[in-house]
């Protein structure tokens, strides 16, 4: 089959959705095709939730692929600071980034986002927490958060789907793109199992799940990239009481620490008060840990990621493979489940046992996690960084360094080498190819990915108006 469109969007995550939204809203009648590897949002049912907590290894995974991308099954947090969730200010500048975040946030509100914002005003209580953070050599980034919640995010993105398809946008699910059609340095379209699709403009926004595929295409088509940051770490789970002060005042506190031993950057990420630790699966059943929380259903625990950022230099150029290698080590020990270790055992260099795990005050929310030893998986440097970060955080949230705090491993954020793009997000190597979202390493969260889509749509409109 061969068909021609004005715009093709590869990947129906937030970047792709908001690109399509902005094009439709313009009123310009464009023929738009969205190709998505996963399922429609109503068919994104994770059997693990109905199967006694056991993953059945769906292909593709309904958690990481499908309409709205992994974001639809995450905590659904919109970070309203330009400092959090990506590198858009590098391309757009700070003022423009702030302006576009406000604009995109209004769209989210239009489609049903909660009007409440956590941490908008910097209260005396928040100032006291910042003082404790400074004393512990932690940087607290002020980032107001609008919390959608996992189930509410799905409802919101469903409304966006209905709106876009109602305006004539064609969406094809279970339609993974195999190849980019490039001739003489200009992209002409894409190819999948159903045929060739051609368009004047193509956006590729495949998310983290598609980052490996994107890097392969960049190498194959000589699309220029540069070595990006590798984020590897663990997901921490503790009782809500330990995190209550931060949860009540910030919902999610963005804390950064530069470790004493290696001067490595370690950051908190994706905090879920009253949330649940979850596993997500990539190709070849590669299991990594994540977390989410619902708007209404709550647990007794808070979970958040601790990510160590490593910036490698040449000749290293395989950040995704490096992360996968570490994840495979953990999977090898657990038969493709998630490994969990008590912080007390982590500090003593011993394996956690089921007996010690279940005598805690804290009950793991990831029921099929396998007790084990993270020192058999993570490099010494990352282990040391995590230890120093937790001890620093304990000065802000006393009790976090308790023996019973749980560490789940491993958490890896898959970004390909960062695609070299202009300030319009057009590839510097291939004309009319635009790269956006988390996959090419430009954004790292729902809000900046959504903004990225808006910006690319406006670049498309400039071309169609010429």
| Together in a domain, 400 and 329 | yes
Question: Would you give per-residue pLDDT tens digits along the chain (466 residues)?
Answer: 789 999 999 999 999 999 999 999 999 999 999 999 999 888 887 766 544 456 667 778 777 889 988 876 767 889 999 999 999 999 999 999 999 999 999 999 999 999 999 888 889 999 999 999 999 999 999 999 998 877 788 899 999 999 999 999 999 999 999 999 999 999 999 999 999 999 999 999 999 888 889 989 999 999 998 887 889 999 999 999 999 999 999 998 999 999 999 999 999 998 999 999 999 888 788 999 999 888 788 999 999 999 999 877 778 878 888 999 999 999 999 999 999 999 999 999 999 999 999 888 899 999 999 999 999 999 999 999 999 999 999 999 999 999 999 999 999 987 767 889 999 999 999 999 999 999 898 998 899 999 999 999 999 999 998 7
Residue 25 domain-assigned (yes or no): yes
- Let me know whether 326 and 449 are in one domain: no
* Structural domain includes residue 133: no
Domain with 383, as residue range(s), is 229-413
* Cα–Cα separations (whole angstroms), residue 320 to 84, 157, 415: 22, 28, 6
d(CA 142, CA 145): 10
CA-nearest of 321, 256, 244 to 282 is: 321
Specify whether 282 is located in the same domain as 405.
yes
Say if residue 322 is in the same domain as residue 436: no
Question: What long-range pairs does 109-112 form, CB within 8 A, spacing at least 24?
Answer: 111/156, 111/159, 111/160, 111/163, 112/152, 112/155, 112/156, 112/159
Q: Is the domain of 243 the same as that of 217?
A: no
* Residue 236 and residue 352 in one domain: yes
In a shared domain, residues 346 and 361: yes
Q: Judge whether 177 lies within some domain.
A: yes
CATH number at residue 92: 3.50.50.60
State whether 361 and 233 are in the same domain.
yes
Same domain, 27 and 167: yes
Is the four-CA dihedral 206, 207, 208, 214 of positive or negative sign? positive
User: 297 and 335 in one domain?
Assistant: yes
One-character DSSP codes across 262-284: T--EEEEEEEEET-EEEEEEEGG
DSSP state of 73: G
Residue 125 lies in a domain: no
Continuous H helices in 172-210: none
Q: Is residue 19 part of a domain?
A: yes
198/298 same-domain check: no
Helix (H) or strand (E) holding 355: helix 354-357
**DSSP type of residue 179:** E
Contact 416, 214 (CB under 8 A): yes
- Same domain? For 85 and 183 the reply is yes
- Domain contains 41: yes
Residue 131 within a domain: no
pTM of the model: 0.84
- Boundary of a domain, candidates 413, 440, 455: 413
Question: What's the total number of domains in the chain?
Answer: 2
Residue 193 lies in a domain: yes
| Residue 107 token pair | 């769209």
């Amino acid at each position: 089959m061969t068909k021609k469109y004005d715009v093709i969007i590869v990947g129906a995550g937030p970047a792709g959705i908001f690109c399509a939204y902005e094009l439709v809203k313009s009123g310009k009648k464009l023929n738009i095709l969205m190709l998505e590897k996963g399922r429609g949002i109503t068919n994104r049912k994770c059997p693990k939730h109905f199967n006694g907590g056991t993953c059945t290894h769906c292909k593709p995974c309904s958690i990481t692929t499908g309409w709205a991308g992994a974001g639809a099954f995450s905590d659904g947090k919109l970070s309203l600071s330009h400092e959090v969730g990506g590198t858009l200010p590098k391309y757009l500048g700070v003022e423009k980034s702030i302006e576009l975040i406000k604009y995109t946030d209004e769209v989210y509100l239009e489609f049903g986002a909660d009007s409440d914002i956590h941490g908008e005003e910097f209260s005396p209580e928040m100032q006291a927490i910042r003082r404790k953070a400074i004393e512990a050599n932690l940087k607290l980034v002020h980032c107001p958060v609008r919390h959608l919640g996992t189930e509410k995010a799905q409802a919101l993105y469903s409304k966006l789907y209905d709106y876009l398809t109602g305006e004539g946008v064609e969406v094809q699910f279970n339609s993974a793109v195999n190849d980019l059609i490039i001739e003489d340095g200009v992209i002409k379209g894409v190819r999948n199992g159903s045929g060739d699709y051609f368009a004047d403009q193509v956006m590729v926004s495949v998310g983290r799940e598609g980052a490996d595929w994107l890097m392969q295409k960049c190498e194959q088509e000589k699309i220029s990239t540069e070595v990006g940051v590798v984020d590897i770490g663990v997901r921490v789970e503790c009782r809500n009481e330990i995190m209550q002060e931060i949860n009540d005042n910030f919902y999610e506190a963005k804390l950064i620490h530069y470790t004493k031993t290696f001067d490595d950057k370690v950051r908190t990420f994706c905090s879920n008060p009253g949330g649940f630790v979850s596993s997500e699966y990539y190709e070849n059943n590669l299991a990594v840990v994540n977390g989410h929380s619902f708007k209404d259903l709550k647990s007794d625990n808070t979970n958040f990621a601790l990510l160590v950022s490593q910036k490698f230099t040449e000749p290293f150029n395989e950040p995704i493979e490096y992360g996968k290698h570490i994840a495979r080590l953990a999977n090898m020990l657990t038969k493709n489940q998630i490994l969990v270790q008590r912080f007390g055992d982590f500090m003593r260099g011993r394996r956690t046992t089921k007996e010690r795990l279940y005598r805690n005050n804290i009950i793991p929310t990831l029921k099929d996690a396998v007790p084990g030893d993270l020192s058999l998986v993570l490099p010494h440097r990352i282990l040391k960084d995590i230890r120093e970060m937790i001890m620093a955080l304990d000065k802000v949230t006393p009790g976090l360094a308790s023996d019973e705090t749980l560490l789940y491993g491993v958490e890896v954020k898959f970004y390909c080498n960062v695609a070299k793009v202009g300030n319009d997000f057009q590839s510097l190597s291939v004309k009319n190819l635009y790269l956006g979202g988390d996959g090419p390493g430009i954004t790292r969260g729902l809000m900046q990915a959504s903004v990225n889509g808006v910006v690319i749509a406006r670049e498309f409109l400039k071309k169609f108006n010429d």
